Amino acid sequence: MSDFSCYKVGRQLIPEIDVLLKKRFRILQAIHAAGPLGRRTLADFLHVTEREVRNETTLLHEQQLIEIGQKGMICTQLGYEVLEQLKPLYYELSGLAQKEQQLAEKFGIERVIIIPGSFRSEASRILLGKEASKWLVKLVQEGSKIAVTGGSSVAAIAPYLQPVDSMPSVKFIAARGGIGEEMSLQANILVSQFAKACHASYKTLFMPEFLSEQAYVAMKAEPSVQEIIRLYEEVDIVLHGIGTADEMAEKRGSSEADKALLTEKGAVGEAFGYYFDAEGRIVHQIRTICIQPEHVKQSRYVLAIAGGEEKAKAIEAYFKNAARQTIFITDEAAANEML
C-alpha cells in the first residue's frame, strides 16, 4: 500500500470514484469508530441526510464491510481491513496527506497527523483517541517514562489505551499539578487512568498551582518533590496539549490583573504551564513544580495534541520554538486555519 498509480489512472476514466470513496470511507470509518450505532445517529454524526447514510450503509452491508444488528451497525473485520488499507488513499484524496507534510515542514518537526473533522465533534475525538493511543503504543519501549499534562485533547486518549506487552514496566508521570475544577481532565487523574488502562505504574504530583515564593522553595526541598523532579530528567516521552493563553488563564481562574499582564506581554498560548508569545518566546510561567522545557527537549519523543480552529494561533506560536522530535496530532479545522 503505497502506490496509487493505478488508482490515479483509473480516476481519469471514472472521476466519480473520488467523491464516492470519500463519502463511503467517512461512513465506514465513523461506524468503526463509534461502535454500534443507528442510521439517524450516524447521520447527525456526519452531518449528512439519513437517506444518504441509508443508501451507503446498505451497500456497505452488501459488501460485508459492516454488520447490521438490532443495536445498530458495526464494522466487520473485512471492513476494518479495507479501512486500514484505504486510509493512505483517503488522506491523499482529501489532501490531508499533503497538509500533514506542509505543516511538518513549516514547524520543522518529525511528523504531523491530521484527524478529519474537528475535535469539537464527537466523531473526531474518537478518531483522535484511537490515533494517539496507536502512536503512544508505537513509541513506547520497555521501561519508558511518560510525562503527561492535562487537557481535554490528552484526555481523549484514555478510552483507547490497551495493555501491551511492554507496558507493565512503563511509568506515567504527571507533568504538573492540577488546574481549575475539571478534575477529570487534570494531569494527575489522567496518569492514573492511563496507567490503569494499560496496567502500568504512575506518579502523581498533587500540589496547588499558585505558590508563594517561600512555599515554592520549601516544596522544592521536599523529598517526594525531589523524586519527581529527578523523574522529569529521565523522561522518555512527553504527551501534552497546547492551549490558548486566555482559555488557560480562564481555567486557572486568574485575576483580571494577571490576564491583563499576560495580554500585555503578548501571550497567545500555553503548554506545560508556560505562556509564550506569537514568536514562541516564554513570557510567563506559573510558579509551580512542573516539567522544564529542557527536559522536554531531551526526551526521545514528544507527542503533542491540539486541535480546533480557535487554537490555530497558539499552536503556530508554540511550534516556533518546539522540540524537533515532536509528533503533532491535530484536526482538519486547525490545520486548515494554519495553512
**Position 77 contacts a copy of itself (CB under 8 A):** no
Beta bridge partners of 282: 276
Q: How many positions of this chain bind a copy of itself (CB under 8 A)? A: 29
Pick between residue 61 and residue 259 the one whose CB is nearest to DNA.
61
Positions in 46-65 near a copy of itself (CB under 8 A): 59-60, 62-63, 65
Pick between residue 32 and residue 145 the one whose CB is nearest to DNA.
32
Residue 317 binding partner per list DNA, a copy of itself, none, with a CB distance cut-off of 5 to 8 Å that depends on partner kind: none
Q: Alpha-carbon distance 123 to 127, whole Å?
A: 7
| Angle of helix 223-233 versus helix 213-221 axis, rounded to 10 | 80
Residues that bind DNA (CB under 7 A): 36-41, 49-52, 54-55, 58, 61, 68-73
Pairing of strands 201-203, 171-174: parallel
Pick between residue 28 and residue 228 the one whose CB is nearest to DNA.
28
Q: Quick one: which H or E segment has residue 69?
A: strand 66-69
Beta bridge partners of 113: 329
Place of cell 511509568: 171
Pick between residue 72 and residue 293 the one whose CB is nearest to DNA.
72
Pick between residue 71 and residue 196 the one whose CB is nearest to DNA.
71
**Position 221 contacts a copy of itself (CB under 8 A):** no
The DSSP secondary structure of 200-224, one letter per residue, reads -EEE-----S---HHHHHHHHHSHH
Residue 40 binding partner per list DNA, a copy of itself, none, with a CB distance cut-off of 5 to 8 Å that depends on partner kind: DNA
The CA angle 93-94-95, to the nearest 5 degrees, is: 90
Q: How far is the CB of 11 from a copy of itself (least distance, A)?
A: 9
**Cβ neighbours of residue 103 under 8 Å, at least 6 residues apart?**
112, 114, 328, 330, 335, 338, 339
Distance in Å from the first CA to the final CA of the chain: 28
**Position 25 contacts a copy of itself (CB under 8 A):** yes
Residue 49 binding partner per list a copy of itself, DNA, none, with a CB distance cut-off of 5 to 8 Å that depends on partner kind: DNA
Pick between residue 76 and residue 299 the one whose CB is nearest to a copy of itself.
76
**Position 78 contacts a copy of itself (CB under 8 A):** yes
Q: Name the site residues for a copy of itself (rule: CB under 8 A).
A: 1, 3-7, 9-10, 12-17, 20-21, 24-25, 28, 59-60, 62-63, 65, 78, 82, 85-86, 89
